[in-house]
Structure 1
Amino acid sequence: MAPLCGSGRRWKRAVKLTLCLFFLIPMSSVGIRNPNTIFDKKQKLEVQKQLKRLNKPALKTMKSPNRDIIDCVDIKNQPAFDHPLLKNHTIQMRPSFYPEGLLFKESNNVSSNSKPKITQPWHLNGRCPEGTIPIRRTKEEDLLRASSVANYGRKKYDIIPNDDIDYSTHEFLVCSACRARRYVLWNECRQWNPQVQEQNEFSLAQFWISGVDNNGVYYHLFQDYSTRLFTFWTNNGYQSGCYNLECPGFVQTDNQIALGTSFTAYSDYGGAQSSLNYFVFKDNVHGHWWLQLADTYLVGYWPSSLFSVLSNSATRVSWGGEVINKNIGGQHTTTQMGSGHLAEEGPTRASHFQNLKVIDDELVLRGPRDNHEIVTHPNCYNLLKGDDFIYYGGPGRSLNCP
C-alpha cells in the first residue's frame, strides 16, 4: 500500500487537527449497564460528576424530535474554557483574516430568501438566543456506553489506514493532497443517509487536516441511524482530544448550529440533492483554525494555543469514506458507504465531494495536487477523482463483494 504523503515511512502519531463531517452513527452494540449492579453504584458519583462538568447551566432548553436535548449555554461558559490553556482566552467572534476568494456574509445583511438555510431537527422547537451557543446534552446512558467514564468521547477506531488496522473489517477510500497550506475549502458536499446492517458498524464521509502523517479516530456516541455533523481534534496522537464539545478545546461562536446533531434534508437517488459548503481556514493573524458552513455560519474555531505543528500550517488534507464491516457469517455486510452506489454512477447517484480547494505555499488558491489514493476493497466501495472532485461509495455486499 502506498503512503499518502512522503516516501513510504510508517504512519506517525503526532500533532493533528481532525475535522470529520457527516458521519452516520449507528446504535452502539454495547448495552447500557444495569444501574442496580454493585459496579454501577460505585460509579454513580463519578458519572454525576462528569455529567455536571459536561452539561453547563442552560439559559434555554429544547427537545428535538430525534430525542436530542439541546441546551443554550452562555457563550462565555462553554466547555472550551475548562482547558488550562484557555483559562484567560478572549473569544474571537470572527476571523481577523479571510483568505482571498472565501465568502462570508453577515447574517443581518442577508435577506431571508438568499441566506442558505441549514436546518436541524431541534430548530422545530426554537432557536438559541444571541450570546448563547447550542450544545447537545450528554445523558447518563451516553457515559455508561463508554468503556469508562474517562473514555467518553474519545477514540475507538482509526480513520486513516495504518499498519495496525485489521483490513478485513475496516475499509477505506482516501484521497490526500500533500503540502496543503493555510486553509482548505470543501464545497458542496452531498448529504446522504446510508444504511448500516449491524449496530456495531458505521459508515462515514470525512475530511481531515494533518500536521504530519498519523492516525485518525472514531467513537460511537449516538444511539440512532441519523447522519450527524461532528468534529474531532487531537494535539498529541489521540492521547487526549475528542468529539465536538465533549472535552474543552473547540470555541463555538455560532448560536444556530449544534455539533453532534443531524440535519433535516438528505439527497435522493437520482432526484433532489441536498448539499452544503464547508470551509476550514487558518486566520493568519491570530493563528486559529476556523470552521465555516455555507457563507453565513461561522461555527467556531480551534485556538492556535492548542497546537504546535498546526500553529504554522497543515502538511496534508484528506477526503474520503470509511466503514466497519463485521463479516457476519463470513460474508461482507450490506453496510453502505455514501449513497450506497458505486462512484461510476456519477452525479445525483454517487456520493461526492466537489470544488475541492487548498492554499499552497505561495498562498495561491488551487485544486489539490500531489494526490494519493487508498482504496482497500475496490469491489465493495470505489473511488473516482478529477482535478477538484471525488466520487465515491458502494453498496457493501453484492455479486462483486461476497
Structure 2
Amino acid sequence: MKITVMSADEQFITLDVDPDELVENVKALLEVEMRVPLQQQQLLFNGNEIRNSDRLSALGIRDGDLVMMVSRASSSSASTNDLSFNPDGSAVNPGAFQQHVRRDSNMMTQLLQTDPEFAQLVLGNDLNRLQDLLRERHHQRSELRRRQEEELALLYADPFDVESQKKIEAAIRQKGIDENWAAALEHNPEAFARVVMLYVDMEVNGVPLKAFVDSGAQSTIISKSCAERCGLLRLLDQRYKGIAHGVGQSEILGRIHVAPIKIGNIFYPCSFMVLDAPNMEFLFGLDMLRKHQCIIDLKENVLRVGGGEVSVPFLQEKDIPTHFLDEERLSKQASGSGSVPESLGTKEKNDNLSTGGRSGATHGDTTQDPNFEAKVSKLVELGFGRDAVIQALKFFDGNEEQAAGYLFGG
C-alpha cells in the first residue's frame, strides 16, 4: 500500500510499504529519503504519536493515509500540535496544514491532477469546507476499513456455520449492488435525477391550462374545479357517476361527452371524466391520444397531434407549477393503467360484458343487422378493440351511440 508522509519543513513523500510493516522500518526509509535521523523522527497519525514497535495495520493506517513527521530536535510541541489531526480526521490547525500543502509545488501539482477538489480547497480561503472534506475523507476511509475487516473476518469464518453463510451471501449481494451503483453513476448518471413528467399548453373551451399527458391513464380526466372554470359543468352527465379504480380510487362525478380543446392552433373534440380531485386539474389520457392519433416524440420533445398536423412542445420544469407535482400521483390513483370505472348506472353492464350477456335480459341477434359490420368498423377506427366493440353493440342491441358512450366511459 502507499502512504504519504508530510514533514515539518513542508516536504511530502510517498512510500510504498507493506500493511504489516513496523513503524521502525518506515522511519528507516524516511531517514534515507528525508535525511532525518531515525532517533529524531516523531511520526503522528490522527494526532497521536506512533511507537517504533507498532505495525501499520494495527494502528489503522491504510492505503492513501497521511502521516505527519516532525523532528524532535527542531520542533516544539506547539508546532507538532499544529500539524496533527483530530480523531474525526480534521486538522488541529487547518491554516498551518493548508500553508504546508500550498508551499510544496510538487504536491500541489500531484493534487491538481489526482484530486482537484481537495486542491481547490487548499488554494481557496474556505477553511471550514477544507475541514469538512478532511472529515469526509476520514469517514470514507473508516467505512472502507470496516468493510475490509468484515470481509476478512468472513474469509476465516466457519464454512458450516449457518449465520456465517448468511453474512457471506449478504456481503456478495451488497458487493454486486455497489458495483451496479458505481456503473450507473459512470454510464447512466441521469437515472438518479428526478424525471419531469410531460405537460403541454392547451385550451379547454377557450380557457388556457397546462395538460398532463399520460399514456398510462385509460381516460381523459378533468377536475370539478377546472370544469367549472372552463364553463363545462352544465354539461355534466351524472348518469356516469361512480368510482374510478387504479392504484387507488377516486369519485367520478359524471361525464362530459364532448367539448372543444385547442392544441396549437387547431380545435379537436374531446370527452372527459369529471373527478372530485382538487389537486388534479386536467389529464390527457390514452382514449384521446388514440382518437386524435397523437405521437409522443421524446427525441424532439414535442406532442404531435392528428398524425403530425400539429406539434406542441412539452413544458420545461420551470414552466410547470410546483403544486402540479401532486397531480402525477393523484392521476395514477384516479385513472391508472387498467383502471375500471364503476358507474352507478352501468355497473351491471361492466360485470356482464365480460360474460357476453346481462342477467334477466334477452337480446336479439344483432349480428344479423346488415349495418352491424359497418358499425363495428366505425367504432374500431376510434381505437377500440374489435371484440370489445362487438360485445358493446350486442349489449346495447346494436345502438351505436350507446355502445360508443360505454366504450369511451370504460
Tell me which interval the TM-score lies in, with the shorter structure as reference length.
Answer: under 0.3
Q: TM-score, normalised by structure 1?
A: 0.19
Whichever structure has more strand as a proportion of its residues is: 1
Q: TM-score, normalised by structure 2?
A: 0.19
Indicate the structure (1 or 2) with the bigger Cα radius of gyration: 2
Bigger relative contact order, structure 1 or 2 (CA pairs below 8 A, ≥6 apart): 1
Whichever structure has more helix as a proportion of its residues is: 2
